[in-house]
Structure 1
């Protein structure tokens, strides 16, 4: 994987964590997630 692609994927990972982390527990529940799930979901964007 080239460094530019790696950097873009890392930014996407961090952005996903930030956006999901900013949601309330109720909003996360509405979309079927828990706080524990956030890193797992974000990791999918890092691949």
Structure 2
């Protein structure tokens, strides 16, 4: 029984850490894209209002 509980705890911690990493990637992507000019974003095919969506798709896909 203890082994099962440890496995469950380990899986939970792994899940939480993966969500934290994804959120950090999301914030980093938003930050980096926000620093680009509208022209640079257009070259990438991204409108400024799409930054959050693009970052979300990148981090949580």
Gaps of 5+ in 2: 1-13
TM-score under structure 1 length normalisation: 0.90
Gaps of 5+ in 1: none
Match of 1:8 in 2: 21
More helix by share: 2
Kindly report structure 1 stretches of 4+ aligned residues shifted beyond 2 Å: none
Matches within 5 A, 1:2-41: 2-41=15-54
TM-score under structure 2 length normalisation: 0.71
Residue correspondences, number: 47
Q: Which has the higher contact order (CA 8 A, sep 6+)?
A: 1
The structure that has the greater radius of gyration is 2
